[in-house]
Amino acid sequence: MSELFKNLIAGEWVEGASTNANINPSNTGDVVGTYARASKAQAEQAIAAAKAAFPAWSRTTPQERYEILKKASDEILARKEELGRLLSREEGKTLPEGIGEATRAGQIFAFFAGECLRLAGEKLASVRPGVEVDMTREPVGVVGMITPWNFPIAIPAWKIAPALAYGNTVVFKPADLVPGSAWALVDIIHRAGCPKGVLNLVMGRGADVGQTILEHKDVTAITFTGSVSTGRKVAATAVASMPMKKIQLEMGGKNPLVVLDDADLKVAVETAVNGAYFSTGQRCTASSRLIVTAGIHDKFVEAVAERLKGLVIDDALKAGTHIGPVVDQSQLDQDLKYVAIAKDEGGKLFWGGELLNRETPGFYMQPALITETTNSMRISREEVFGPVANVIRVKDYDEALAVANDTEFGLSSGICTTSLKYATHFKRNSEAGMVMVNLPTAGVDYHVPFGGRKGSSYGPREQGAYAREFYTTVKTAYTFAG
């Protein structure tokens, strides 16, 4: 019988109410591991443990927190190949992508180890004689974390690391589909010296564990990354609770990549293919709408299709694989459904979009390139979250910008151009939280803010020093010396 990976509650590894088999999407006959699923009662126990641990942890010195986070970072980086292999095996990213994500998690912990020592306040003169005014940042309390399946170690890292750095305690629920990377990360932090109750892992279903975290009165703040529909439920629950919770939501994207006539064709093709299809297109920052001006449209489409023909779609762990499988059957069904919807609406399946058979049973799909679409079609309005991109032909830059901004989302956007004029104008006028010039819309640095506008994000930014806006609260103190 395989090892059971347990939940961490109040510093102890405990069995759950049931178990979950973690399946490899590259080979559905391969069980990555068996993971405990927590019950509602266990989620409540984890919250109680976090609440009990908060007073002492919130008053630890920056040096104490630094040493724990730095030790965790060192182990993550030392084990990046092992962790990357686990990630690729359970989620379906290629092995280089998996190792890259594990490396990023280690870098995030190193950055926030430093942030423990950099948190600053302010001092201002009062308008009243003899009075001093100090503004300091304090931890918010117990933070509930709900993370998605597509970045199973990086997203937990960029939530857990700042929460701990700024003195909060954590109740963490990873996606039920990919518990392995989350468990490994928590195990590393736990062994790095995190006191009992400071970090709690409760794996399980959203209906049991996630809902308990959302509704519990002792959870002060909720940080969530996932779908728009679930994010709206999170927001509604947080506002309805008493006391109301602080919330941070990262949700969907329908990210545009504009390609202008003056673009370097090779750069534009590589930018589009990387942004739209790598990581199997399973990124909220993926370039799912390719908005191309008429003069370069036909050459661009042909070149993208030719590039796609040369990509290897296979087992994520195989050397030479460019794109791994879709994460599971449900997501594969959704991807195929949207290809069919696009065709029904008048789009042309220019290349790909077919199921593939490989040596092992898995969720393999050719990347789909759909042309002759308009921005009013469902394929242009709704997030697919797979290796599917559609091309929208426009006459010039002004129309391209208008189409790019005509969306409910606003996470990431990009433009391929050799014109400084258009690049500068696009950076200022694109209605997105992150803008790329001659770079894929997917792929960001860990030390700068991450987040979007409109329906993509709500609340303070994630990552970098801007993370303090969510994980701390400001106190203003007045002193009269007499």
Question: Looking at the annotation, which residues are catalytic?
Answer: 250, 284
CA distance 107 to 70: 10
Radius of gyration of the chain (CA): 23
Instruction: Give the strands of the sheet with 4-5, arranged side by side.
Output: 4-5, 27-37, 18-24
Contact 263, 297 (CB under 8 A): no
**Cis peptide bond upstream of 243, omega within 30:** yes
Tokens 């506008």 belong to residue: 453
CA distance 215 to 348: 46
Q: Whose CA is closest to 60, among 9, 105, 107, 119?
A: 119
Helix (H) or strand (E) holding 250: strand 246-250
CA distance 231 to 60: 33
CA distance 69 to 165: 8
Question: 424: helix, coil or strand?
Answer: helix
For residue 51, which phi and psi values (nearest 5 degrees)? -65, -45
Q: Are strands 412-416 and 7-9 parallel, antiparallel or unpaired?
A: unpaired
Contact 144, 471 (CB under 8 A): no
Q: To 5 degrees, how large is the angle CA 161–CA 118–CA 171?
A: 20
CA distance 354 to 397: 33
Alpha helices in 345-475 (DSSP H): 378-381, 397-405, 420-429, 468-471
Instruction: Give the strands of the sheet with 131-139, arranged side by side.
Output: 122-125, 131-139, 472-480
Question: 29: helix, coil or strand?
Answer: strand
Strand partners for 462: 450
For residue 3, which phi and psi values (nearest 5 degrees)? -65, 140
CA distance 393 to 407: 16
